[in-house]
Structure 1
Amino acid sequence: MGTVSYLPRDYDVFIGIDVDKNSFSFTVQDHNMMNRSKKIPSSPEQLYNYIGNNFSNQRVLCAYEAGPTGYNLHDYLSQKDQLCLVLSPFSIPKASNERVKTNRLDSERIVRYLKSGELRPIRVPSEPYRQLRQLIGMRENYSCQSTTAKQRIKSLLLFEHLNEHIDDTRQNWSGMYIDRLKQIPCSGTIRCKLDLLLADLAYCHTQQLRVLKELKALCDKHPDIDRYRGYLQSIPGIGSVIALTILARIGDPEHLANVREIGAFIGVVPKERSTGDTIQRGSVTRLGNNTFRRLIIEASWIAIKYDTELAQFYHRIKARHHPRIASRKAIVAVARKLTQRIYKVLKEQRTYEIR
């Protein structure tokens, strides 16, 4: 998701809202001295009625911080033609010496920065992309649970001196290998624990397959998503899952403003400290999604095997650095270059052609 912009001078009244499951705490300010704080039940309808009853002839701008309650408040107010911005928690400045946190203070901080124009609201994704993000999130969760189950199985084998069975875990966890684990001779308690861990692993695998099936159905239902997936898959190193993960994170590619937005989502934009004619760039910001960044790095390792241009670029960057960090520096540089290709195929709506 990208960001959207607004001009405070276009509005008369500003409302900062702190949303939780039971209540809305909000603060109202205008360009003069008005400053009201109020708490109501967690009902978008009540908030809309409050705005209509008190500020019917004024231009009102609302904003709240994205959280576990989702986009329900935004959707309701948007249907009523009341503009409501959604903010990233990382975009709201916080003083380093703050020691008190309440819902009212949070709403005051939101409205203060909203009125000053210092906030950069996120672009709320459309319903198909929300569904895609939910499915991708579920797949990531089951993938993590699967990895945890495998690690627990290896730990159990090591702890019980069944070391001869650990070497095989370096291979893919094939059905044949899992069958061998089920037949390991061991005591009743150990057998029970191992079977439970294998059952966890099998459950995660089944759920991952189910999510992949739902992802395919979603692509069939929404041709735009399927078309963008095809563009992304034409880039070496990017498969179906990574392509859909990219679309889930950035939302509708039509809204992408520039290639740095994708780099920011991933967290591979370099830090920069510049003054006058001096420009200093450091390591990547790492502000993006960790899973997203890991997948792009994996795609970069694959890409340099099949794309001669990227391979040459990788070795050129690698030669500039100390051997201890050369590979890591070079592959991050490849990932940044990969984001340029991602941006290009999405904006130009065409497949990528290897030179």
Structure 2
Amino acid sequence: MANDNTVFVGLDVHKESIVAAYSVGFGEVSSIGSIGVLERDIERLCKRMQSKASNVVFVYEAGPCGYGLQRQLSRAGFACHVCAPSLIAKKAGDRVKTDRRDAEKLVKALRSGDLSFVHVPDERDEAFRDLVRAWSGAKEDLKQAKQRLKSFLLVHGVRYTGSADWREAHRRWLSRFTFPEVWSQLAFEEHRRSVEDRLTQCQRLEQVLRDAAPDWRFYPVIQALQALRGVQFTVAVGVISEAGDLSRFDNPRQLMAWLGLVPSERSSGASVKKGGITKAGNSVARKLLIEAAWSYRYIAKVSPIIQKRHEGLPKPIIDRAWDAQLRLCRRFRKLILQGKNRNVVVTAVARELAGFIWDIARRTPVAAA
């Protein structure tokens, strides 16, 4: 790829501008400057680059502008990569950052093969992921609304004697409680209504997800993953919508690293120091797996709920899910008996659970994109 027949183009993409730089082979890097963000501006740049070499390769950093530019260039027949900005090498003494220098740096890193590219989902997969993220955002809003209401009640010394689990009994008690002061009562009602509204939104979005999932090409994988303990529908949908096709990972260790569940390390010479997990990957999928891993603190068993999820699944998938349950439950108990912190234990179990998810996903055929 790195020869005089290839022109490497780096794009520093922003909402209102795109700054470009290029080099032909390993020649001098030249700056083009701002080219505009309209479709005709991109087409003009492509024609200009085609006049310099027969093969044109573009790259830009993943960011808030999404993958629209990558898809436009791909439809035009050009190779366009999207790189991970957190994995771009930086000089410790470099204190000058401009759009022009960023574009030139992308060109140099692209032609030397030093960039890590991110997976670009197709438009239908991304649309389904948008729906899942809307549900995930509603869950976060619900969590914050509940916390605000709890804090409000605590400030006023109001305590619920039962289990404050937001089920019918708890919500019925909240609807009947009143404050002697009118203004406090108004504030309380607004907090309570906020929780109720977020609950309704979460339920509505979850139902939309359940209705839409059968039309998605990864639905067989979602069904297969639910054979695993702790991986109910919302967890399976969340993980697959974020990770996409798990066959793009050559082994389970790559998936674990992408999820940020592998230990960090800082070693030099004979000194080897390992720390907490890197948290370098997808935070949404990682949180879902950690939530699922808590279910393995109990003894291994096939509950009626899991038994129902097994209906219609191939026997090899069910057997693999049982193997996972035996191993992970045993792993949880063993680490607890060794005196490990419970959060450390559940993270270790989540890491191994990711390996079983990778294995089950690769055993499940899906439709082509």
| TM-score interval, smaller chain | 0.7 to 0.9
**Greater Cα shift, 227-236 or 341-350:** 341-350
Structure 2, unaligned stretches of length 5 or more?
Answer: 301-324
Distance in 1 separating the partners of 2:85 and 2:152? 40
SS for the counterpart of 2:218 is helix
Match in the other structure for 1:258: 251
Match in the other structure for 2:174: 181
Match in the other structure for 1:49: 44
Match in the other structure for 2:291: 298
Distance in 1 separating the partners of 2:16 and 2:201? 32
Of 332, 335, 338, which aligns to 2:350?
A: 335
Give the deviation of 1:346 after TM superposition: 0.6
**Greater Cα shift, 94-103 or 18-27:** 94-103
Report 1:1-355 matches (<5 A): 7-9=1-3, 12-30=6-24, 31-56=26-51, 57-161=53-157, 163-165=158-160, 167-168=161-162, 170-186=163-179, 187-222=181-216, 224-272=217-265, 281-305=274-298, 306=300, 307-320=325-338, 323=339, 325-349=340-364
Distance in 1 separating the partners of 2:291 and 2:29? 53
Asked if 2 retains the 8 angstrom alpha-carbon contact of 1:129 and 1:247, the reply is no
Asked if 2 retains the 8 angstrom alpha-carbon contact of 1:11 and 1:61, the reply is no
Match in the other structure for 1:3: none
SS for the counterpart of 1:125 is coil
Specify whether residues 247 and 10 from structure 1 end up closer, same or farther in structure 2 by C-alpha distance, changes over 3 A only. farther
Match in the other structure for 1:4: none
Match in the other structure for 2:303: none
CA offsets 1:223-266 (integer angstroms, 9 cap, x no match): x3210101111111111111011101211223222212221232
Distance in 1 separating the partners of 2:63 and 2:72? 16
CA offsets 1:37-63 (integer angstroms, 9 cap, x no match): 321221243223222134244211101
SS for the counterpart of 1:122 is coil
Specify whether residues 9 and 282 from structure 1 end up closer, same or farther in structure 2 by C-alpha distance, changes over 3 A only. farther
Distance in 1 separating the partners of 2:18 and 2:185? 52
Task: State the identity %.
Answer: 27
Distance in 1 separating the partners of 2:5 and 2:337? 55
**Greater Cα shift, 271-280 or 186-195:** 271-280
Distance in 1 separating the partners of 2:226 and 2:280? 25
**Greater Cα shift, 132-141 or 46-55:** 46-55
Distance in 1 separating the partners of 2:243 and 2:337? 33
Superposed CA RMSD: 2.3
**Greater Cα shift, 236-245 or 178-187:** 178-187
CA offsets 1:66-124 (integer angstroms, 9 cap, x no match): 11111110111111111111112212223344443322222122122112110011120
**Greater Cα shift, 51-60 or 277-286:** 277-286
Give the deviation of 1:149 after TM superposition: 0.9
Structure 1, unaligned stretches of length 5 or more?
Answer: 1-6, 351-355
Asked if 2 retains the 8 angstrom alpha-carbon contact of 1:319 and 1:326, the reply is no
Give the deviation of 1:275 after TM superposition: 7.0
Asked if 2 retains the 8 angstrom alpha-carbon contact of 1:273 and 1:280, the reply is yes
**Greater Cα shift, 94-103 or 55-64:** 94-103
Distance in 1 separating the partners of 2:345 and 2:69? 44
Asked if 2 retains the 8 angstrom alpha-carbon contact of 1:23 and 1:43, the reply is no
Specify whether residues 347 and 176 from structure 1 end up closer, same or farther in structure 2 by C-alpha distance, changes over 3 A only. same
Asked if 1 retains the 8 angstrom alpha-carbon contact of 2:263 and 2:277, the reply is yes
CA offsets 1:190-237 (integer angstroms, 9 cap, x no match): 111111111211221122122212212321222x32101011111111
Distance in 2 separating the partners of 1:249 and 1:11? 37
Specify whether residues 274 and 156 from structure 1 end up closer, same or farther in structure 2 by C-alpha distance, changes over 3 A only. closer
Distance in 2 separating the partners of 1:204 and 1:96? 46
Distance in 2 separating the partners of 1:208 and 1:120? 35
Give the deviation of 1:343 after TM superposition: 0.7
Task: Please report the TM-score for the alignment, with normalisation by the length of structure 2.
Answer: 0.84
